[in-house]
Amino acid sequence: MADLVTVPSIIEAKGNKPKYIQEFIGLVNTHNEDISIAKMVSPEGWSEPGQTAEFDEYTVVLKGILCVKTTDSIFEVKTGQVLLAKKGEWVQYSSPYEKGAEYMSVCIPAFSPGLVKRDNQQ
C-alpha cells in the first residue's frame, strides 16, 4: 500500500552553524527504522564533528559543494555527484564554499543519534 508523506519533520543539526534538515522518511517523521531520507541545506562555513556511523550513508549533492573528509581522503562532492560513506567508516562533513551546499541523504538503516557515533560522543 502506498503512503504519501506530505510534510517533512524539521530536525536540529549538529555543527558550528545552523543547518536546515527536512526528514521525509525516518525515525522522526515516519517511525521507519530501515531507511531515512532527508534534505539538508548547510551554509557557507558550516562543519560538524566527525562520525563513525553504524549505517551506510548515500549523499546526493543538489547544489553547491559538500566536502567529505575520511581517514585517508578529502572529497569535494559537487552538484549531481554522489558519495557513499560505508558503515563503520570515519567521515566529517562540511560546506566551506560560498553559498554552502544543498543535498539529500539516504541512510540504511535509518539515521538515529545512537547510531551516528560522533567524535564527541565516543
- Pick from 16-20, 54-58, 101-105: least confident: 16-20
For the segment 56-61, the average pLDDT, to the nearest whole number, is 98
- The answer to whether residue 20 scores a pLDDT higher than 60 is yes
CA–CA separation, 96 and 2 (whole Å): 39
Q: Hey, what domains does the chain have and what are their CATH numbers?
A: 50-113 (2.60.120.10)
Q: What is the largest CA-CA distance in the chain?
A: 44
pLDDT for 122: 43
Structure confidence at residue 2 (pLDDT): 85
pLDDT class of 89 with cuts at 50, 70, 90: very high
Average model confidence (pLDDT) for the chain? 95
- What mean pLDDT do residues 90-96 have? 97
Interatomic CA distance for residues 105 and 40, integer angstroms: 8
Model pLDDT, residue 121: 55
Residue 15 confidence (pLDDT): 86
Question: What is this structure's pTM?
Answer: 0.92
- Mean pLDDT (whole number) for 101-113: 96
Complete DSSP assignment for 72-120? S-EEEEETT-EEEEPTT-EEEEEE-STT-EEEEEEEES---HHHH-BGG
Asked if the model's pLDDT at residue 52 lies above 60, the reply is: yes
